[in-house]
Structure 1
Amino acid sequence: MNHVLTSERLGLRPVTAEEHEVLFAHWTDPRVRQFLFDGGVLAASEITEAIDGSVRGFASEGYGIWVVRLRESGEAIGVAGLRPLEELGLEVFYSLNPHVWGRGLATEAARAVVDYGLDVLGLPRVLAEVDEGNTGSIAVVERLGMTPFAVVPGVLGPMIRYRVSR
């Protein structure tokens, strides 16, 4: 199965161990992690675990973490992926470097991942869980056609759960 995804402006490839520094720099940026990891900072060993888990996930289940790159320059600008959301199914997640915010790239990356989940993996639905205060991500999931179905408590406050299906 081909796990490489492309969109008009982006290329998404499964993360590899060689991209540890890329993920470390991205996930430790205070602006990026504001709504990720409950605001905590990941240790280098946790990033290694995330990469290793993604490699195993792509091999066995067909999903994990993609590094998002601009097609024109090849610059790594963030990550997107699929992961289990409790027993409910798979959720899309994404985070981009602040210098590319506001250009529709998060929606473009997330759409590629959602389409992959629904079309390639044949999922009945794709979920998202967004901090209530994360207005940027709420706008992204709404542009993806996702609709809210629950509000649950989170460490940083209420979390809104969304879903989309074909």
Structure 2
Amino acid sequence: MQKVSLRKVKTPVSYLQENSEDVLHFSLQGLLPSGHTLALNIPLGTLSHLACKDDRPLMLMEQQFTTSEICVLMPLLDAYPYYCPYEVLVASFNSGHASEAAIARSRKRLQEAQEAGIWDQEMRPVRNVLSRTRLKTRSFGIEISSILETGYILMQTPRYKHPEL
């Protein structure tokens, strides 16, 4: 008989100390149909697509994310409908929460990397995690798009049809 493990994804302590909520909700107007929301369960590392039908909540879809993936997904969700700058993604990726001090450090580090010609090397770990995160968000009809020399933005996946209730 095989044991089933219900392990929790380890969440960066700094983020949990900053945020008292375990589940964050995002309506993402323009990306999701009216009345739909995404619920990010931080301790479990799950993102759920929720809607209501006949006054009852319905879970339409769910994906599991690693801690690193959550660290890049959170600032993108927070920034929507605007773009998320590179330095915010790097700060969140490195520390689990993009505080002003962490963002300033990341901005300086990226500027130095640009001047030294090693910007791609500096961004590679973040881009690798974004690539895995992008594959998972596509199932929700959400694309993570790059904006050249600026950052990333959430957009609707072309020709995606949201589940009907």
So what's the TM-score if we normalise by structure 1? 0.31
Q: Counting helix residues as a fraction of each chain, which structure ranks higher?
A: 2
